[in-house]
């Protein structure tokens, strides 16, 4: 009986961890990206489909829309930190680009507030 309970607990833990998004680098220096106008623009252009993507930006781009719509419920803590740092940095440093970003990924205005609330402490 103890083995069955143990297997159930391990199985549940593995199922939970498998639900996180997979990205190329959850620990990239997003603060450095936000501080560098050229890097911030390059990442934003990638997300907006108006510029090329490096492998890390491409992997993040692949989860942006879903993570915004789902309130980052599949994000791990590192991904929440990246999302918070990117969005707040874009908002303060390139407000026009932030507006375009929000218009693309939340055109009806239904998700962004919940998304930002979910990542605000990261």
- The structural domains of the chain, ordered by start, are 21-119 (1.10.2080.10)
The percentage of the chain sitting over the pLDDT mark of 70, rounded to a whole number, equals 85
Look at residue 18 in the predicted model and tell me its pLDDT: 55
Span 34-58, average pLDDT: 97
Residue 21, pLDDT above cutoff 80: yes
Task: Write the CA distances from 93 to 87, 89, 90, integer angstroms.
Answer: 10, 6, 5
Look at residue 87 in the predicted model and tell me its pLDDT: 98
The pTM score is 0.83
Q: What is the mean pLDDT of the chain?
A: 89
Residue 71, pLDDT above cutoff 50: yes
- Give dist(CA 43, CA 35) in Å, integer: 12
């Amino acid at each position: 009986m103890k083995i069955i309970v143990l297997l159930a607990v391990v199985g549940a833990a593995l199922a939970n961890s498998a639900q996180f998004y997979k990205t190329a680098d959850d620990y990239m220096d997003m603060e450095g990206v936000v501080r560098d106008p050229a890097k911030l623009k390059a990442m934003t252009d990638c997300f907006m489909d108006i510029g090329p993507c490096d492998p890390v930006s491409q992997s993040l781009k692949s989860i942006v829309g879903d993570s915004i719509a789902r309130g980052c419920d599949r994000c791990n803590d590192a991904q929440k930190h990246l999302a918070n740092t990117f969005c707040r940095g874009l908002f303060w440093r390139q407000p026009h680009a932030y507006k375009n970003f929000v218009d693309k990924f939340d055109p009806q205005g239904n998700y962004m507030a919940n998304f930002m609330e979910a990542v605000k402490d990261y």
